[in-house]
């Protein structure tokens, strides 16, 4: 059963604005705990005001006129409530105030809000957000613009007209017209939902119209390099210097789990002695702003030593000569081909390799791996653990040995 809304009207005097012994009368409208205030356009001597009854004390002409005026305000506000209900407009304190004052609230438009949201993110690139974050919201914007034209033949939409049907139609559009897979589809919808939640937080909407919508996703296998594949890349001799350099940066990611943007920003300030007296990387993941503390393994330290005096690292005051992401990905394709690796080499693969081949497979507890990766949820790290046949084999071998020992003991006991 839907909860009944609460609506109250309160008249009070603003004593902090006292002038010549008189204070202005204000009217406070409260709907479901949300307030809006407007001036009653009258003032009264503070000694003549009855706070409990919310009227002016006395029977003189001035007192009668003010009390009648306050009564009329209450009647008009109740009429405003009826008018809003008749038009199907949600009753809010602000809506009642605007209806009473005759001010028409300018509709807040979806695409206008998204354009401003994206512009704000662009301003904060490399301060709060990565360029990749801005790009994904820009792509979402373009899909929404195309969807509005395809579905409604319009360029923008009042956010108050958004509903569950809108998001399901948008999902259908992405799948049927753009052939976007279910997981990428879900990412675009999450972007829209995040912006709409901000609208709710700003009281532009009474409630999240997509609250009941559940983003669909399909579990996918995470590619990572096996120990042999990683060793093949490490051991490969490259005649072209730029390929050797990109290989080293990729391998460094495999031994630290750092994403591309975090590698790009890695500076000497991020290296400190850890609790064990050894060198650690102390950084924050730009994607989630989560702290990461990663002990430097010997292969990673060797790469840092190799590029300590490289001109690019000295010029940028960083630890590694990391080029742009676009160039880097092109070089990684060459490296994969040269090393006869059939998997697509990306920094996601490097990060997954750290989680699986380098750490989990070698017995590092999943909680420790999660901390180093900067994951906010252990559930995220468990994705990697599910695909490790070697770890399953190792864990089961321990159990197998336990049962074998028990069987041997029982056999000896029976034999005696």
How far are the Cα atoms of 123, 124, 138, 184, 191 from residue 129, in angstroms, in the given order? 9, 6, 14, 20, 14
Q: Environment class of residue 310 by beta-carbon count within 10 Å: exposed (0-12), middle (13-18) or buried (19+)?
A: middle
Q: Where are the domains of the chain?
A: 7-101, 110-201, 227-385, 391-416
pTM: 0.55
Q: What percent of the chain shows pLDDT beyond 90?
A: 31
pLDDT band at 368 (very low <50, low <70, confident <90, very high): confident
Residue 1's pLDDT is 39
Q: What is the pLDDT of residues 191-215, one digit of tens each?
A: 999 999 999 888 888 788 888 888 7
Residue pair 260/347 in contact (Cβ under 8 Å)? The answer is: yes
Tell me which residue of 221, 239, 215 sits closest to 343, measured CA to CA: 221
Q: In this structure, what token pair is assigned to residue 336?
A: 């994969």
What integer best gives the mean pLDDT of the chain? 85
What is d(CA 173, CA 147) in angstroms, rounded to the nearest whole number?
A: 7
Pick the CATH number of 110-201 from 3.30.420, 1.10.3110, 2.40.50, 1.10.150: 1.10.150
pLDDT beyond 60 at 388: no
Whether the pLDDT of residue 309 is over 80: the answer is yes
pLDDT of residue 201: 86
pLDDT class for 129, splitting at 50, 70, 90? confident
**Options 3.90.1150.10, 3.40.50.10090, 3.40.50.1860, 1.10.443.10; CATH of 227-385:** 1.10.443.10
pLDDT over 80 at 290, yes or no: no
Q: How confident is the model at residue 260 (pLDDT cuts 50, 70, 90)?
A: confident
Whether 288 shows a pLDDT value over 80: the answer reads: no
| Inter-CA distances, 154 with 115, 158, 290, Å | 16, 11, 40
Q: How confident is the model at residue 256 (pLDDT cuts 50, 70, 90)?
A: very high
**Tens digit of each residue's pLDDT (9 = 90 or more) over 130-148:** 788 899 999 999 999 999 9
3-state secondary structure at position 286:
coil
- Higher pLDDT: 43 or 366? It is 43
Give me the mean pLDDT over the 150-167 stretch. 91
- Check residue 73 and give its pLDDT: 92
The string of pLDDT tens digits covering residues 320-359 is 998 877 778 888 999 999 999 988 898 889 988 998 889 8
Mean pLDDT for 26-47 is 89
Of 279 and 324, the one with more pLDDT: 279
110-201 and 227-385 share one fold: no
Give the mean model confidence (pLDDT) for residues 361-371.
Answer: 83
- The residue ranking higher by pLDDT, 33 or 87, is 33
Over residues 359-365, the mean pLDDT reads 84
Determine the pLDDT at residue 188. 92
Looking at residue 219, its pLDDT comes to 67
Q: What digits encode the pLDDT tens for the residues 43-53?
A: 998 888 888 89
Percent of the chain with pLDDT over 70: 88
Confidence of residue 221 (pLDDT cuts 50, 70, 90): low
Q: Which residue has the higher pLDDT, 205 or 253?
A: 253
Residue carrying structure tokens 């989680």: 355
pLDDT of residue 233: 93
Task: Quote the pLDDT of residue 262.
Answer: 86
Confidence of residue 2 (pLDDT cuts 50, 70, 90): very low
């Amino acid at each position: 059963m839907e909860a009944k809304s609460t609506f109250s009207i309160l008249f009070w005097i603003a004593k902090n604005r006292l002038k010549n012994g008189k204070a202005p009368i204000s009217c406070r409208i409260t709907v479901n705990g949300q307030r809006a205030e407007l001036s009653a356009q009258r003032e009264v001597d503070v000694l003549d005001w009855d706070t409990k009854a919310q009227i002016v004390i006395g029977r003189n002409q001035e007192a009668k006129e003010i009390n009648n005026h306050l009564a009329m305000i209450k009647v008009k506000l109740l009429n405003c409530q009826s008018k809003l209900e008749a038009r199907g407009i949600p009753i809010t304190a602000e809506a009642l105030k605007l209806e009473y004052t005759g001010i028409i609230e300018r509709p807040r438009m979806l695409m206008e809000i998204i354009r401003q949201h994206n512009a704000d993110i662009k301003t904060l690139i490399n301060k709060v957000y990565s360029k990749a974050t801005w790009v994904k919201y820009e792509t979402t914007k373009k899909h929404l613009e195309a969807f509005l034209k395809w579905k409604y033949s319009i360029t923008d939409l009042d956010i108050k007209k958004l509903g569950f049907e809108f998001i399901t139609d948008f999902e259908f559009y992405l799948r049927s017209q753009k052939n976007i897979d279910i997981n990428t589809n879900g990412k675009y919808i999450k972007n829209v939902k995040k912006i709409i939640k901000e609208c709710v937080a700003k009281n532009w909407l009474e409630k999240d119209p997509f609250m009941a919508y559940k983003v669909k996703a399909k579990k996918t296998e995470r590619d990572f390099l096996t120990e042999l594949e990683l060793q093949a890349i490490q051991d490969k001799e490259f005649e072209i210097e730029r390929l050797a350099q990109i290989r080293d940066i990729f391998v460094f990611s495999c031994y630290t789990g750092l994403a591309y943007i975090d590698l790009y920003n890695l500076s000497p300030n991020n290296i400190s002695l850890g609790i064990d007296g050894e060198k650690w990387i102390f950084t924050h993941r730009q994607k989630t702003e989560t702290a990461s503390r990663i002990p430097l393994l010997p292969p990673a330290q060797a790469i840092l030593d190799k590029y300590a005096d490289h001109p690019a690292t000295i010029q940028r005051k960083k630890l590694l000569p990391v080029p742009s992401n676009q160039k880097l990905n092109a070089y990684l394709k060459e490296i994969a081909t040269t090393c006869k690796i059939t998997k697509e080499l990306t920094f996601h693969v490097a990060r997954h390799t750290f989680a699986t081949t380098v750490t989990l497979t070698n017995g590092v507890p999943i909680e420790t791996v999660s901390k180093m990766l900067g994951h906010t949820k252990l559930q995220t790290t468990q994705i990697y653990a599910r695909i490790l046949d070697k770890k399953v084999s190792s864990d089961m071998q321990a159990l197998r040995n336990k049962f074998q020992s028990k069987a041997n003991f029982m056999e000896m006991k029976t034999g005696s």
